[in-house]
Structure 1
Amino acid sequence: MSSAATAPAVVGVIGGGRMGAGIAQSFAAAGSRVVVVERDGATAAAALERIATGLRRAAERGTLAGSSDLDLPDRVIAVSSVAELPDDADLVVEAVPENAGLKAEVLAAAEHVVPDGCVLASNTSSLSVTELAAALRRPGRFLGMHFFNPVPVSALVELVLAPGTDATALDAAVRWTHALGKEDVVVKDSPGFASSRLGLALGLEAIRMVEEGVADPEAIDTAMRLGYRHPMGPLRLTDVVGLDVRLAIAEHLHKTLGERFAPPRLLRERVARGELGRKTGQGFYPW
């Protein structure tokens, strides 16, 4: 990792939910000026509060990279329109829900606002970066920057290349990833990329094992933690990610890669009951 890597001066983040707020927090902590776009004033204010809380907790833990200045107005602002993205942005990361049409729409709108030298990126965890690039006038400056939850403490960013991604865009993304104190892996665009595809395969098989009565969730997770040194078992991780998110990715990979990614019945049933994991208080575990 290069010690000389510096964060982009100005970053736009479209979407201020858990992932978007985490991305914004990470860049702000690294010294970037950040503009977060949400759909209206209320959700923009909520996004700003998430970021402020995250920065404050990081400072309390002593893990805040860079300056400990938490005066957010100088570091992060939230707006309610893509049209309000800064016209001097170096990087814009889209972090809206995993809907290809919505992602393409906001990326195309951002392209009309930002300067020619700005890199555009999607935080998608499984959608085709090649198809998203097709919505842009200049697809060469676009790539996937797949961050992991929780973003501020995760060690990885998966950089996903479409066939037309320029080397300059990749070089900038690598440099900025290192400036956040994270490692990069570079992969070609493929359904599920590397991380989601392998992670989902393990998670789906663990769900099938519960469905078949092989073992309970705690036993399966303990086996993977202690036997294979996973920091978290696949079922607890599914709760953290969200069962609905896992189901959506599974359905996408089922269509593109075949039957081995068919969602288990138990996963569909839990999502139908609203048992989505940590965010609803119940998944494979109570939270």
Structure 2
Amino acid sequence: MKLENIQSIAVIGAGTMGAGIAQVAAMSGYSTFLFDINEQALLKSKEIISKNLEKGIEKGKVSEQQKEECLSKITFVSDLLKLKADVIIEAVIEKLQVKIDLFSKLEEINSESTIFATNTSSIPITQIGAGLRFPNRLVGMHFFNPAHIMKLVEVISGVATDQNVAVTIKQLAEKLGKKAVMAKDSPGFIVNRVARHFYVESLKIAEEGVADFEAIDKLVESSGFKMGPFRLMDLIGVDTNFSVTTSMFESFHYDPKFRPSRIQQQKVDAGHHGKKTGKGFYEYK
């Protein structure tokens, strides 16, 4: 599959990340499918995309016509059997077997040229590909939250990934207006491996009672960061961040420097997942 042959893009998972990726694809002119088994999630994703576009209009970056054209190009579907596209991007929960099962089903109903991309932020591409019939057509395409704003996309090749597939996805990311970076397969790839200690060490400071969440955030932000670690975890999703840390902890054979935080575990257990639930390390109205 070459870039010029790509006409349709499907995104699996109608959460904040999936909605953002679908918006970017539709804004770039692609016929876009956004899939989720949860009908309510699909309705909410449509609201998220509409609000994103409205903010774009307010800032003068999007026209009313562009908004209407974008929404008209997105088809919201809950039937997996209808999910046929040239490129399929998975943005579901960070669990290896879930991703393998999903791609295995999609291999059965899609053409031999369809490219499968995973938005995983921590699971090695090679591990996912090992459970598929066509691992050569699987590649990592890791967007960053919020996907409709953040420019970076990591393109990750597993051991079996066809290099032409990786190049095509890099070109696609660039056509979507992103800055694409090629990376080798490794737990956390580039960004999450570097950034993991931004979160982990901040949580250790809080665990030890050295300072509270707000004080740590203020200190980091006064050092030049746009957002402190706790505000950022609330934005990304405390549960998502915790899942990534846990995955990397396991992938690095339980190296203590990647140990997940007990504080974060408690937040997840309590359902305090950040802005999306109204409460995380901070409370949101």
Normalised by the size of structure 2, how large is the TM-score?
Answer: 0.89
Aligned partner letter, 2:266:
E
1:155-181 deviation line (CA, Å, top 9, x unaligned): 111111101111211111111111121
Deviations along 1:51-72, whole A, 9 cap, x unmatched? 3343343334333399715146
Partner of 2:28: 30
**Aligned counterpart, 1:253:** 248
State the partner residue of 2:164: 168
Once residues 40 and 265 of structure 1 are traced to their aligned partners in structure 2, the CA distance between those partners, rounded to angstroms, is 30
Partner of 2:142: 146
Q: 2:126 aligns with which of 130, 137, 149?
A: 130
Contact 1:225 1:231 in 2 (8 A): yes
> Which amino acid counterpart does residue 251 of structure 1 have in structure 2?
T
Cα displacement (A) at 1:42: 4.5
Residue 90 (str. 1) matches residue 115 (str. 2): no
Structure 2 CA distance for aligned equivalents of residues 142 and 190 of structure 1: 15
Counting matched residue pairs gives 280
Secondary structure of the corresponding residue to residue 164 of structure 1: coil
> Could you say which residue in structure 2 is the equivalent of 1:155?
151
Q: Secondary structure at the match of 1:70?
A: helix
Structure 2 gap segments, 5+ residues each: none
Q: What amino acid is aligned across from residue 219 of structure 1 in structure 2?
A: A
8 A Cα contact 2:11 2:88, kept in partner: yes
For residues 193-213 of structure 1, the C-alpha deviation after alignment (integer angstroms, 9 at most, x for no partner) is 121222222101101111212
Q: CA deviation at 1:142?
A: 1.0
Q: Following the alignment from structure 1 to structure 2, what is the Cα–Cα distance between the partners of residues 50 and 221?
A: 27
Contact 1:29–1:64 (CA<8 Å) still a contact in 2?
no
Cα distance, 1:42–1:252 mapped onto 2, change above 3 Å? closer
Partner of 1:214: 210
Please state whether the residue corresponding to 1:51 is helix, strand or coil.
Answer: helix
- How far 1:154 moved relative to its partner? 0.7
Q: Answer yes or no: is the 8 Å Cα contact 1:30–1:66 preserved in 2.
A: no
Query: Within 2, Cα distance between the matches of 1:272 and 1:36?
Result: 29
Amino acid of the residue matched to residue 245 of structure 2? Answer: A
RMSD value over aligned CA atoms? 2.3
SS in 1 for 2:116: strand
Q: Find the aligned partners of 2:127 and 2:189 in 1 and give their Cα distance.
A: 14
Match of 2:264 among 267, 271, 275: 267
Structure 2 matches for 1:192-231, cutoff 5 A? 192-227=188-223, 229-231=224-226
**Which secondary structure state, in structure 1, belongs to the residue aligned with residue 145 of structure 2?**
coil
Once the two structures are TM-superposed, the CA of residue 33 in structure 1 deviates from its matched residue by 0.6
SS in 2 for 1:68: helix
Contact (CA 8 Å) 1:247, 1:268: kept in 2 or not? Answer: yes
1-structure distance, mates of 2:25, 2:63: 10
Using structure 1 for the length normalisation, give the TM-score: 0.89
State the distance in 2 between where 1:63 and 1:117 align. Answer: 35
- Judging changes above 3 Å, is the alpha-carbon distance between structure 1 residues 40 and 224 closer, same or farther for their aligned structure 2 residues? closer
Cα pair 1:7 1:176 within 8 Å, conserved: no
CA distance change for structure 1 residues 255 and 113 in 2, over 3 Å: closer, same or farther?
same
How far is 1:76 from its partner? 0.9
Cα deviation, residue 73, structure 1: 6.5
Distance, in Å, in 2 between the alignment partners of 1:156 and 1:6 is: 22
Most deviating of 178-187 and 109-118 = 109-118
Q: 2:17 aligns with which of 12, 16, 19?
A: 19
